[in-house]
Structure 1
Amino acid sequence: MSRETPPPALTDTTTDHAADRAAIERVVADTEKAYNTNDPELLTEHFAQDATVVNAMGVLLSGRDTLLESNRAGLAGFLRDQYVRYDLLDVVFVRPDVALAHKGARATDATGELIDLDHAMIALYVLVKQDGRWWVAARQNTLVPAEG
């Protein structure tokens, strides 16, 4: 590629994605509900069979069965009394059937009252639409450093 050729914009602007965005919002809402109710099956529900995840500890998990096992252990253990609020920050449709979504996470207490005023973590989701349903193909969690 020559320097005169600008890089392409990859955002799909040819499709109305309102229903797709709503479906991705449901994925994020289900994830929040699963985390707050210690439901590992719901937490894993939207992941493809061959999904990969890098969790907040930087551990790479491959495959839905591995992810479910990790979710079971975490929600029964150190995450059992943890609560969160997730915000869908952005969704970009790279193709009509591929989306990149950013989710912000803030800790709450058991009643949903915010503990973190700012997002303590941001997750990048790669979602693929297959047979009319959105599946998480990959998720990458990144902790946001506290100010000061």
Structure 2
Amino acid sequence: MSTETFQPPMVSDTTVDHAADIAAIEQIIGNVETAYNTNDAELMTADFTANAAVVNAVGALMTGRDALLEANRRGLAGFLKDQYVRYEITDITFLRPDVALAHKVARATTPDGELIDIDHAMIALYVLVKEDGRWWTAARQNTLIPKAE
């Protein structure tokens, strides 16, 4: 195949109305925010598949829901205990009717929700799948955003 004739596909599902899917995905990410702000490891892990893969903000890979739950318990009871965040979903793209990508950005807040960070401190990519009518997070990649100097 010649590079002159090769046209990469635009992958975006428009075969169904995704309004309910968007609401479900927003709820999943909202659950993570609520869990983070209330130190609730079970809620933070509730919407992950059994074989989920997560890369945290320092580059550690956790595979499987049990490992993720244990890491969430340690983090929320430890170094994240008095940390608070606000998430903003920046986009949701449906690759197939049952596969979506979502990005969220995060900023640190006070316990009362007042922003500490002016700029976003982290970006995350979610890979979500719909199984038996329910959306699940199959993978998440967190990346810290360097502070502007």
TM range (shorter): over 0.9
Match of residue 104 from structure 1: 105
Within 5 Å, give how 1:76-91 maps onto structure 2: 76-91=77-92
Q: Name the SS for the 1:116 alignment partner.
A: coil
Q: Deviations over 1:29-85 (max 9, x none)?
A: 111000000000000000000000000111000000000000000000000000000
Match of residue 132 from structure 1: 133
CA distance in structure 1 between the partners assigned to 2:10 and 2:16 by the alignment: 15
Match of residue 2 from structure 2: 2
CA distance in structure 2 between the partners assigned to 1:18 and 1:87 by the alignment: 18
Q: Which runs of 5+ in 1 are unaligned?
A: none
Amino acid at match of 2:63: S
Structure 1 residue runs of 4 or more that deviate by more than 2 Å after TM superposition: none
Aligned length: 148
TM-score normalised to structure 2 length = 0.97
CA distance in structure 2 between the partners assigned to 1:32 and 1:79 by the alignment: 13
Amino acid at match of 1:46: D
TM-score normalised to structure 1 length = 0.98
Q: Which runs of 5+ in 2 are unaligned?
A: none
2:28 aligned with 1:27 = yes
Percent of aligned pairs with the same amino acid: 67
Q: Supply the RMSD in Å over aligned alpha carbons.
A: 0.7
